[in-house]
C-alpha cells in the first residue's frame, strides 16, 4: 500500500544486539514498523527473526540497542511491559496451561474484571472474534486435549481479544488450511486498516507477497534488505533468503509394492464421548506416500498418537507386513518393528530439552544397541555420528554437542528430530506436520528424506494441515473430516475437490 510506504515509523528497533553464550543471534539490527502496516519478516531458521521479535515482546533483553515507540524511547523489561505498550505476540511454541480450558488461558492474559461476570463478558468477546475469523473451538475443553491447530487458535485469540495495537505473528498459519488462512488474513487486513501494526514472521513466501506492505529479509542475525512486494520476484526473494533459488516439484513414486501398513476400522472415542476417529480404514503400500489432508482438529492428532502407540483404539486393528497385528504394541515395540515417528509437537513427544543435542540424537541408536550395550555406550561414536548428522541436516545454532536441545530454535529442533528418525533404514514413517516452522531449504531437505524413505521401500504416512505439502509429496491423498476418511484421491489430484471434501 503506497500510503503505508510513505508513513513515518510507529516503532523502531535501533542497533539491537543479542548473544546467547558465545553465539551472536542479533548483530546491530535496525527494524521499523509503521502504523497500520503488515510487515513480513523472512529468513532461514536461525536467521534471528524470532529472537528479534522476542526482544520487542519483552521475552529477551537485548545486550545493546533501544526501542522507540511513537517517537519516545521505551524500556521493555518483560512481557507485561510489552503488553502495556500494546505489543502482543503469537509464538510458534505456545504459552498455554494445558490443564486450563481455552477460555481460562485467554483470561490469564486478557483483563476481564471480577471473575464470574468478567469471564461471561470475555466469553462473549471471544465468541464474537471467533465468528469474525471463522475459527471453531471448544472454549471449555482443556487445552491439553486440543489439537496443535486448535491450540494455535487459542494463542491467536489471546492477542486479538487483548486488543494489541502491535501484533507479532510467528508462523501463524503453519497448521491452518487454505480456507482458514484466508479467513485469518482477512481479519488481519481489517485490523491493519483500523490502524493495528502487524509483523508477520513466516516461511510462506506466498503469504508475505500477497498480504504484506513491506518485506524484510534476515540472514545470520542481520538485515539483508527491506523491499516492497511488488518490486521483487519470488526467485529474487528466495535468493535473498537463502542465497540460491530453491524449487520443489511433485515426484510421484515410480514403484509401489505390496501393502505394508493396514488400518482397519479404527474407532476412538474422545474424553467427552464424541467419536474422535470413526471406522478409519486405509492401506499404505511399500514405496508409497499416503497423505492425510484435513482441517485441523478433525482427528489428525488422535490418529498420529494412536499410530505412535501413545493411545489405543476402542476397536479396529493396525497390521504391519511381516509383524502382523501391532495394535496393542507399545511405542518401543513398534520402533523395533521399523516404525519411526515425526510428531507435530516435537517439544512434548520428540525431544528432551534438558538433555544435550548429542543425547537427543543418539537415543534411538542406543535403543537399537548401535553404540554398544546399556552399561557402556561408545560416546566417541555417538559424537562422531551426531556431528555428521547435524552437518548433513543443516542443524544451526549448535555451538557444541553438549549444549541442551532446548536452546535450539523451533526449526532447528525439528531438523534434529528428523536427523535422528532417519538414522536407521525405516520400514514405516509416520510424519505429522514434518516441515512445520521450517524454512525453504530445510523443508526441501525434509521432503527429500521422505521421498528417499519411500523410494527405498518404506511406507510413509504424511499427516499435514498444509495442503500444499500434502499435494506436493503424496502418491495417494485421503481426506479426514470429523474423524472419518471421507474421500481418497490418486495424485495428481484436483485441489478444489480435496478442499471441498475437507469442509463438506
Task: Choose the final residue of a domain: 184, 210, 242.
Answer: 242
How many distinct structural domains can be found in the chain? 2
Q: Give yes or no: residues 215 and 288 share one domain.
A: no
Question: Is residue 5 over pLDDT 60?
Answer: no
Residue in the structure block whose three cell numbers are 516435537: 346
Is 387 a domain residue?
A: no
Q: pLDDT, tens digit, for every residue of 41-64?
A: 998 877 899 899 999 999 999 999
Q: How far apart are CA 200 and CA 182, in angstroms?
A: 14
Residue 1 has pLDDT above 70, yes or no: no
Asked if residue 395 is part of any domain, the answer here is no
For position 473, what pLDDT does the model report? Answer: 96
Helix (H) or strand (E) holding 49: helix 49-56
Instruction: Answer yes or no: do 188 and 276 share one domain.
Output: no
* Residue finishing a domain among 211, 242, 273: 242
CATH for 71: 3.40.50.300
**Phi, then psi, of 296 in degrees rounded to 5:** -55, 145
Q: How large is the average pLDDT for residues 77-81?
A: 90
For the stretch 280-294, pLDDT in tens is 999 999 999 999 998
Residue range of the domain that includes 128: 2-242
Work out the number of other CB atoms within 10 angstroms of the CB of residue 454.
28
Cα end-to-end distance, the chain, whole Å: 36
Whether 405 maps to a domain, the answer reads no
Of the spans 11-20, 84-93, 155-164, which averages the highest pLDDT?
11-20
CA-nearest of 136, 423, 181 to 298 is: 136
**pLDDT score of 116:** 67
Among 208, 242, 276, the domain boundary falls at 242
**pTM of the prediction?**
0.68
Amino acid at each position: 500500500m503506497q500510503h503505508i510506504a510513505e508513513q513515518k515509523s510507529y516503532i523502531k528497533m535501533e542497533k539491537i544486539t543479542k548473544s546467547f553464550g558465545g553465539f551472536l543471534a542479533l548483530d546491530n539490527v535496525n527494524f521499523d514498523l509503521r502504523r497500520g502496516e503488515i510487515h513480513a519478516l523472512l529468513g532461514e531458521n536461525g536467521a534471528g527473526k524470532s529472537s528479534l521479535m522476542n526482544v520487542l515482546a519483552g521475552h529477551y533483553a537485548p545486550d545493546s540497542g533501544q526501542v522507540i515507540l511513537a517517537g519516545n524511547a521505551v524500556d521493555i523489561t518483560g512481557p507485561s511491559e510489552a503488553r502495556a505498550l500494546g505489543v502482543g505476540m503469537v509464538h510458534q511454541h505456545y504459552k498455554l496451561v494445558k490443564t486450563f480450558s481455552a477460555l481460562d488461558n485467554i483470561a490469564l492474559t486478557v483483563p476481564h474484571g471480577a471473575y464470574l461476570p468478567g469471564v461471561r463478558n470475555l466469553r462473549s468477546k471471544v465468541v464474537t472474534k471467533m465468528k469474525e475469523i471463522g475459527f471453531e473451538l471448544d472454549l471449555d475443553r482443556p487445552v491439553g486435549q486440543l489439537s496443535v491447530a486448535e491450540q494455535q487458535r487459542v494463542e491467536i485469540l489471546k492477542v486479538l481479544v487483548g486488543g494489541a495495537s502491535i501484533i507479532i505473528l510467528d508462523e501463524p498459519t503453519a497448521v491452518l488450511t487454505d480456507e482458514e488462512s484466508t479467513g485469518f488474513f482477512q481479519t488481519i487486513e481489517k485490523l491493519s486498516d483500523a490502524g493495528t501494526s502487524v509483523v508477520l514472521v513466516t516461511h510462506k513466501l506466498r503469504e508475505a507477497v500477497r498480504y504484506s506492505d513491506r518485506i524484510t529479509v534476515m540472514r545470520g542475525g542481520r538485515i539483508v534488505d527491506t523491499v516492497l512486494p511488488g518490486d521483487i520476484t519470488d526467485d529474487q526473494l528466495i535468493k535473498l533468503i537463502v542465497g540460491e533459488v530453491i524449487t520443489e516439484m511433485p515426484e510421484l513414486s515410480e514403484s509401489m509394492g505390496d501393502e505394508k501398513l493396514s488400518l482397519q476400522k479404527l474407532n476412538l472415542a474422545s474424553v467427552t464421548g464424541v467419536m474422535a476417529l470413526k471406522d478409519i480404514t486405509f492401506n499404505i503400500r511399500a514405496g508409497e506416500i499416503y497423505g492425510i489432508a484435513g482441517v485441523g482438529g478433525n482427528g489428525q492428532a488422535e490418529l498420529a498418537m494412536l499410530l505412535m502407540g501413545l493411545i489405543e483404539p476402542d476397536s479396529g486393528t493396525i497390521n504391519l507386513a511381516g509383524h502382523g497385528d501391532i495394535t496393542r504394541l507399545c511405542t518401543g515395540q513398534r520402533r523395533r518393528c521399523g516404525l519411526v515417528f515425526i510428531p507435530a509437537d516435537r517439544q512434548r513427544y520428540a525431544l528432551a530439552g534438558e538433555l544435550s543435542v548429542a543425547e537427543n540424537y543418539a537415543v534411538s541408536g542406543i535403543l537399537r544397541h548401535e553404540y554398544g550395550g546399556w552399561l557402556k555406550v561408545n560416546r566417541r561414536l555417538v559424537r562422531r555420528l551426531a556431528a555428521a548428522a547435524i552437518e548433513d541436516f543443516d542443524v544451526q545454532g549448535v555451538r557444541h554437542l553438549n549444549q541442551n536441545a532446548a536452546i535450539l530454535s523451533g526449526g532447528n529442533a525439528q531438523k534434529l528430530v528428523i536427523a535422528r528418525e532417519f538414522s536407521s533404514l525405516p520400514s514405516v514413517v509416520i510424519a505429522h506436520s514434518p516441515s512445520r516452522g521450517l524454512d525453504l531449504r530445510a523443508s526441501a531437505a525434509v521432503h527429500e528424506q521422505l521421498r528417499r524413505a519411500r523410494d527405498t521401500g518404506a511406507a510413509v504416512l504424511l499427516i499435514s494441515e498444509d495442503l500444499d505439502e500434502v499435494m506436493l509429496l503424496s502418491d495417494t491423498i485421503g481426506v479426514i473430516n470429523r474423524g472419518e476418511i471421507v474421500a481418497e484421491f490418486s495424485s495428481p489430484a484436483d485441489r478444489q475437490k480435496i478442499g471441498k471434501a475437507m469442509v463438506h
